[in-house]
Chain A
Amino acid sequence: MASPSTRGAAIDLKSVSKHYGSFIALDEVSLRIEPGEFMTLLGPSGSGKTTTLNIVAGFTEVSSGSLDVGGKSVIGVPAHKRNTGVVFQHYALFPHMTVSRNVAYPLTLRGIANPDREARVRKALDMVKMTDFGHRFPSELSGGQQQRVALARAIVFDPPLLLMDEPLGALDKKLREWLQLEIKRIHRELGTTFVYVTHDQEEALVLSDRIAVFNQGRIEQIGSGRQLYDEPETLFVGKFVGDSTILRGAPSTSGDETAIDIAGRKVTTAKRLPGGVKPAMLLRPEKLSLARRGMGGQDRNTLPGRIGEAIYLGSGSKYEVVLADTSKAIVRSTLDAETFAIGDEVDLIFAGSDVKLLADDEKADLNLT
């Protein structure tokens, strides 16, 4: 195998669109993926992430735009000539072939003969820890085992690019978390460019170097997990990645300050949006704190509320607070903080500087359900 640094291919999508009749599946999407990068395409179903993957794999033709892989345009190149590994959610192992023959299949197609072929099959099965299963048929394996074989089959021919379409979507949570770490390890060992499609934001955070958040056929934001969490550029990204509280109300501005009126109580932040844009405030759960009604936080924003749900997490607690305007806030508190019970009257306290002031987008709500 070549050294990791030279193995991955760069991918460059420029203004790629895909139309199905009048339906726009992808709308002018541009995305550059660096060689060897682990890029996750994250978004709800129908957001265009799988369409993008299918375009890169060669299963779907673009309506317009350009696509370069490894510096060469692959528009019009059929899937079987792209030398790209693909792992599917439904495993797609050939049921009439044993595990060994499944993994050997891409090598057979490339005319690689036996001593070499067998060695590479073994190496790939070793990598996914399925060495002893070569003689089994896929129907004799569990879902997690089948997916590991599918992964071995997709990497055995050393593709410079590996695409994965919700590969863990059909597996239960424990298995999923373990396989996430396995995939991360394999990415590190291979140095191949990985493009990973998921609707699961936690999975995206665990795996990726960078994440592209898709919504309605467009990319909302591209960045590391930390960037998306700390500095969401749109309300949709803020809501989709991590837990969040959204405050909405009649806005007013004075100088550089924006205030929002929530059931008669004003909360402010020293931030402003460009004129004419309706603002919404987004707050992460750990930036919010709780106090019993009237017990502090005078110099900061406070909103009255009632505990609607209290969840003990072990490392702390998570509360759902129902505010006066019936919207809900999510608060995470540490172990040593005061605890509250359902029904307790509380004040929700936060600093104006922790507020992310974003353009309000009603559509961001609809898409999540």
Chain B
Amino acid sequence: MERADGGQLGPLPVAASATGSRDTGPAAAADDRWRWFRGQAFWLVAPALLLLVVCLGLPLAIVTLRSFSEPQWGWQNYVWFFGTPVNLTVLQRTFAISAWVTLVCVIAGYPYAYVMTVVGPKMRLVLILCVLVPFWVSGVVRTLAWVILLQDSGVINSVIRSLGLGPVKLIRTQTGVVIGMAQVLLPFMILPLYSVMKAIDLRLLQAARSLGASPARAFAQVYLPLSLPGVYAGAIIVFILALGFYITPALLGGPRSTMLSTLIQNQVLSLLNWGRGGAMGVVLLIATFILLALAAPLSRQPHKTGSRRQ
């Protein structure tokens, strides 16, 4: 009747095993095998890599090349882009709209993702479906639905009117564009947020409370910081996707909410000016890279950076 060994408990990892044991024989052999396997495993990504090179890298290279080569070799397309005020206005607006869309997605997506982590499995399934259903509907259809909702005599405005407030101009305004884009991009915010949030140990909040933190402080000082990597990940995806959005701003926006992609489309398809269109694309790409580089340090998790050795 020995029961004192406590063996029936303990689902938890014992971090002690993660330290030491670096130079022992079997472990080193396993390391070698793993290295060999990793070398071979590279070939598993070859198809995807090939696809990426052929379908993305190559066209990108051609576009970049043509931005310098048409109509003749030189910087003229870039000189034109930065010398034309309307281009700069649109570039700035593109970033501004994308930032607004990102903000709306964070505000709408954060509580939604949180609720997904605390409800029961059935309710969670419903919530996930609600996020995913828009993915299964064509973007054009969704955007046209927004046209109906947002127009001056649309559903939203009739509700506002029935509340005794004047009609609000939504369609063909920047607000309308932001609303439509945020709806399309919301899943890209919610899913990474959810995957980070569901890994947060809710018992940490209990610990914080036992130490004297009110529920609000426990949230602000423990939960929020731990969920930020998800916010950054979602925000970066949404922001980058928003920068390149074409259909939604084209259908919901007016002339004063034109985004860069519309200008590019105009240059390439209407004016057949591949050089200028290409230059605009390259500018957008580089601006995005710069922004990413600036945002990268934010998403780094402080507690994952330290050395594990002792």
- Report which A residues bind B (CB closer than 8 A): 45, 57-59, 78-86, 88-90, 92-97, 105-106, 109-110, 136-144, 146, 153-154, 157, 166, 169-173, 175-176, 199-203, 239-240, 243-244, 330, 368
> Which residues of B are found within 8 Å of A80, using beta-carbon distances?
209-215, 218
Per the bound structure, the CA–CA distance linking A109 and B209 in Å amounts to 10
Q: Which of B54-100 contact A (CB under 8 A)?
A: none
Tell me if B222 and A139 are in contact (CB < 8 A): no
| B203 CB-CB contact with A under 8 Å | yes
Tell me if B302 and A143 are in contact (CB < 8 A): no
A-B contact pairs, 29 of them (CB 8 A): A58-B209, A58-B210, A59-B209, A78-B209, A79-B206, A80-B214, A85-B210, A86-B206, A86-B207, A88-B203, A92-B206, A92-B207, A97-B303, A105-B213, A110-B212, A138-B303, A139-B303, A139-B306, A142-B16, A143-B12, A143-B13, A143-B14, A143-B16, A169-B10, A170-B10, A175-B16, A203-B4, A244-B1, A368-B3
> Which residues of B are found within 8 Å of A138, using beta-carbon distances?
303
Tell me if B9 and A144 are in contact (CB < 8 A): no
Which residue of chain A has the shortest Cβ distance to B203 in the bound complex?
Answer: A92
Per the bound structure, the CA–CA distance linking A361 and B209 in Å amounts to 41
Distance to closest chain B CB from A326 (angstroms): 16
Distance to closest chain A CB from B11 (angstroms): 8
Across the interface, A90 reaches (CB within 8 A) one of B201, B208, B211, B307, namely B201
Distance to closest chain B CB from A98 (angstroms): 9
Distance to closest chain B CB from A343 (angstroms): 21
Across the interface, B210 reaches (CB within 8 A) one of A57, A143, A244, namely A57
Main secondary structure of the interface of B (DSSP, over half): loop
Across the interface, B303 reaches (CB within 8 A) one of A81, A137, A142, namely A137
Tell me if B3 and A86 are in contact (CB < 8 A): no
Tell me if B14 and A172 are in contact (CB < 8 A): yes
Which residue of chain B has the shortest Cβ distance to A240 in the bound complex?
Answer: B3
Per the bound structure, the CA–CA distance linking A172 and B14 in Å amounts to 8
| B2 CB-CB contact with A under 8 Å | yes
> Which residues of B are found within 8 Å of A94, using beta-carbon distances?
204, 207-208, 222
| B15 CB-CB contact with A under 8 Å | yes
Per the bound structure, the CA–CA distance linking A86 and B206 in Å amounts to 10
Given A96-B303, A139-B306, also A243-B204 (CB < 8 A): no
Across the interface, A83 reaches (CB within 8 A) one of B2, B207, B212, B303, namely B212
Per the bound structure, the CA–CA distance linking A79 and B221 in Å amounts to 17
Per the bound structure, the CA–CA distance linking A360 and B203 in Å amounts to 40
| B23 CB-CB contact with A under 8 Å | no
Distance to closest chain B CB from A48 (angstroms): 17
Tell me if B211 and A109 are in contact (CB < 8 A): yes
Distance to closest chain B CB from A96 (angstroms): 5
Per the bound structure, the CA–CA distance linking A47 and B18 in Å amounts to 34
Tell me if A109 and B217 are in contact (CB < 8 A): yes
Q: How many A-B residue pairs lie within 8 Å, measured between CB atoms?
A: 133
Nearest 10 interchain pairs by C-beta:
A92-B207, A142-B16, A202-B4, A86-B210, A170-B12, A106-B211, A109-B212, A79-B209, A137-B303, A143-B14
Q: Which of B188-238 contact A (CB under 8 A)?
A: 201, 203-204, 206-215, 217-218, 221-222, 225-226
The interface size of chain B toward A, counting residues with CB under 8 Å, comes to: 44
Per the bound structure, the CA–CA distance linking A81 and B213 in Å amounts to 8
Across the interface, A109 reaches (CB within 8 A) one of B11, B213, B304, namely B213
Tell me if B15 and A146 are in contact (CB < 8 A): yes
Per the bound structure, the CA–CA distance linking A45 and B9 in Å amounts to 9
Distance to closest chain A CB from B221 (angstroms): 8
> Which residues of B are found within 8 Å of A146, using beta-carbon distances?
15
Distance to closest chain B CB from A206 (angstroms): 10
Per the bound structure, the CA–CA distance linking A151 and B87 in Å amounts to 61
Tell me if A89 and B206 are in contact (CB < 8 A): no
Per the bound structure, the CA–CA distance linking A144 and B14 in Å amounts to 8
Per the bound structure, the CA–CA distance linking A142 and B246 in Å amounts to 52
Per the bound structure, the CA–CA distance linking A154 and B221 in Å amounts to 17
Per the bound structure, the CA–CA distance linking A85 and B302 in Å amounts to 27
Per the bound structure, the CA–CA distance linking A139 and B226 in Å amounts to 14
Tell me if B306 and A137 are in contact (CB < 8 A): yes
- Other 16 A-B pairs with CB < 8 A, given A57-B210, A95-B226, A170-B10: A45-B8, A58-B209, A80-B210, A80-B212, A81-B212, A85-B210, A92-B207, A96-B222, A105-B211, A137-B303, A139-B308, A142-B15, A170-B12, A173-B5, A199-B8, A203-B4
Q: Which of B282-310 contact A (CB under 8 A)?
A: 301-304, 306-308, 310
Tell me if B303 and A169 are in contact (CB < 8 A): no
Across the interface, B302 reaches (CB within 8 A) one of A58, A88, A96, A171, namely A96
Tell me if A201 and B4 are in contact (CB < 8 A): yes
Per the bound structure, the CA–CA distance linking A42 and B9 in Å amounts to 14
Tell me if A92 and B9 are in contact (CB < 8 A): no
Across the interface, A200 reaches (CB within 8 A) one of B6, B204, B211, B215, namely B6
Which residue of chain A has the shortest Cβ distance to B4 in the bound complex?
Answer: A202
> Which residues of B are found within 8 Å of A89, using beta-carbon distances?
9, 12
